[in-house]
Amino acid sequence: MPDVHHRYATVQGQRLFYREAGPLDGPAVVLLHGYPTSSHMFRHLIPHLADRYHVIAPDHLGFGLSDAPSADEFDYTFDALADLTAGLLDQLGVPRYAVYVQDYGAPIAWRLALRDRDALTAIVTQNGNAYDEGFVPEFWQPIWAYHAEQNAETEAPVREALTEEAIRWQYVSGVPDASLVSPDTWRHDHRYISRPGNDEVQLKLFLDYATNPPMYPALHEYLRDTQVPVLAVWGENDPIFGPDGARAFARDVDDAEIHLLDGGHFLLESKFDEAAKLIHDFLDKHR
């Protein structure tokens, strides 16, 4: 099994943790995690891809083992997280790469793509949304209400997302056999999300999510113009980003591969073998 290195880099004065594996001269694959997890979600995928790919999986600022300055000390936005990701890749000498996105990783990657249209060699999106059709209204209504007005009433349901039970729900909802999902996953995430002051960090990012849908038309134009290869490998029972979000990629990318698997938001926890083979085969095809 390939060695996986656990490293830190200082980018714009912030200490970022990242996992790295595989040949340094191999095609680069960057794995971008979502809320509320970290590069820990890729602990099995990294060695699977590192047989021939240079794999890099950072923890976003405020998540996992990366620094987590308070919301007063750092302006947490998706623009800022994209800046840090770009800075890390620049330090590592990685100008072109395939990207795997999930949840929050998607709007970070979309910003990177729109800033440098030649950077992305391929996109793997695992419940990483890019279309209005992907939003499941039942989940998003409280967040949209918080976007519209910030007060104690609208903040309360958003804060519920920070609880261990809500994080557990993200992991097991839509999974046919929830016993396949280790409780270590949501307890690991909850531990880091619960650091003092991190609640305000997460509220800031929930609020800034409002900046992502207005970016979609420019992203769709980018996809149509570049025809960058896209694999959507999606948990079709995800209660956050539904399967229509996966199907929509085929509108803009002629040869987009769409695979809906019987799983939820964190597909790698219950359908790893099936998803990993699709990802590896796709990257091999477009390396």
Q: What is the DSSP letter of 32?
A: E
Q: Distance from first CA to last CA of the chain, Å, rounded?
A: 21
Q: What is the DSSP letter of 133?
A: G
Catalytic residue, chosen from 33, 40, 54, 265, is 265
> Which tokens is 56 given?
């890099």
Active site residue 188: no
Q: How far apart are CA 172 and CA 198, in angstroms?
A: 24
Burial class (CB in 10 A: 0-12, 13-18, 19+), 79: middle
Contact in structure between 256 and 249 (CB atoms under 8 Å): yes
Q: How far apart are CA 25 and CA 85, in angstroms?
A: 20
Tokens 């046919």, residue? 176
Q: How far apart are CA 173 and CA 7, in angstroms?
A: 33
Q: How far apart are CA 85 and CA 247, in angstroms?
A: 27
Residues with a catalytic annotation lie at 265
